[in-house]
Structure 1
Amino acid sequence: MSGTGAKRGRPPAFDRATALEAATRLFWEHGYEATSVGELTRVMGIKPGSLYAAFGDKKSLFEEVVHAYGRSPAGAFAGAALREEPTAREAFGRILREAAAFYPGPGHPPGCLTISAATNVTVQDAGVAAFLRDLRNANLAAFEARLETARREGELPATADPRALAAYFAAVIQGMSQRARDGATAAELTETAELALAAWPRTGT
């Protein structure tokens, strides 16, 4: 008796991971600005009070979504390739080919959440755009660092520009994300990936 009385008035429990997954899909598909708290609570299966209690405000929820996405296969493949591949060329080849497979892949909205979720935000939400921009710039810095190492070790010619090359590959990857959202297939994006790799600077003759 006393046990049931202690539970009276408590909100129903929810699976945080499942709720976060539902929020991720909504933000990924519609973007930050177009996603309302009402839509979030509907797909997450919780009431607004529970959302604020569990995640904070909409911005805090979005940041948690993005960090969780960054640990998922769809968000972590670039960093994994940079760490695991023995050469920079193999790393960037893997990144481009996996982007071609992931971005239009089934089971999730097309493209990359970090690239597309805050392309248009109001002035009051400029911090959200800056948050994603900082993450993308951190990826760009990781690209440049890997390419700088490749030049220092002789994998790239001494005349290669790691900064420009990193910016080039980042631009290709961001474009592939948008092309996936526009309906490009994995085969089409793979062609783009191979064309991008053809620009890799060669050493020697």
Structure 2
Amino acid sequence: METRQRRLTGRPRGFDADEALERALLVFWEHGYEGASLATLTGAMGISTTSMYAAFGNKEELFRKVLERYSEGPSDYLARALDESTALGVVTAIFAGVVRTTTRPTGPNGCLGVQGALVTGDASRGARDLLVAWRDSGYARLRERFERAVDGGDLPPEANPALLARYVTALAYGIAVQAASGVGHVELQDMADAALRSWPLC
């Protein structure tokens, strides 16, 4: 009995966890949280439901891991944009990143973080709250960056960092929604460029 238990507990995982997580990301990105059934997820991941629970937890925990991967992968343009030397550079990089990410020639269009759980029932409240926190975090980081820009003289002293951050995030999310509806890269970049032309400058 002990020998058999050692074989079971010591058995190596029969799949690539990183690849399975990447496939789950694409399913959630394309179908949203509620639209991604366990059968669709495990089929795309190439594993059984039992293996999914063992490796990633339940569906909500899997979604949490997917969102972390999304933040570090397709959505990492935000972190890089915040390192730009000027506020205008930050916004330019954010708009370029969101247009690029949401209109990829292969894979889902739109933004997982915006559309993943906009409309969900009570059973999916955890996923919805997770995405609200994810979006709020992005807004807060951008607001803080604009506050530093005001303090450093890069933005006019009368500029409102909170309002500017809300404006930029709202436009970025709007771009993502339009991309999911089939609006193309060129048109969305033109819209972003129009917003940049009215950016407050010293």
TM-score normalized with structure 1 length: 0.91
Of 157-166 and 101-110, deviating more is 101-110
CA contact (8 A) 2:102 2:109 kept: yes
Q: By how many angstroms is 1:134 displaced?
A: 0.6
Alpha-carbon distance between aligned partners in 1 of 2:198 and 2:135, rounded to the nearest angstrom: 22
CA contact (8 A) 1:96 1:173 kept: yes
Show the counterpart of 2:45. Answer: 44
CA contact (8 A) 1:143 1:166 kept: yes
The answer on 1:27 being equivalent to 2:31 is: no
The two structures, once aligned, show a CA RMSD in angstroms of 1.8
The answer on 1:86 being equivalent to 2:92 is: no
Q: By how many angstroms is 1:154 displaced?
A: 1.2
Alpha-carbon distance between aligned partners in 1 of 2:159 and 2:79, rounded to the nearest angstrom: 22
Show the counterpart of 2:133. Answer: 134
Show the counterpart of 1:153. Answer: 152
- Superposed, 1:111-130 pairs within 5 Å as 111-130=110-129
1:32 aligned counterpart, secondary structure? helix
Flag structure 2 segments of 5+ consecutive residues without an equivalent.
Answer: 1-5
Show the counterpart of 1:53. Answer: 54
Q: Structure 1: which amino acid aligns with 2:132? A: R
How many residues are treated as equivalent by the alignment?
A: 197
CA contact (8 A) 1:104 1:111 kept: yes
Flag structure 1 segments of 5+ consecutive residues without an equivalent.
Answer: 1-5
Q: By how many angstroms is 1:183 displaced?
A: 0.6
Show the counterpart of 1:194. Answer: 193
2:75 aligned counterpart, secondary structure? helix
Q: By how many angstroms is 1:111 displaced?
A: 1.3
Q: 1:11 to 1:150 in 2, by over 3 A?
A: closer
Q: Structure 1: which amino acid aligns with 2:75? A: G
Aligned-residue identity in percent: 36
Alpha-carbon distance between aligned partners in 1 of 2:134 and 2:40, rounded to the nearest angstrom: 26
Alpha-carbon distance between aligned partners in 2 of 1:173 and 1:131, rounded to the nearest angstrom: 19
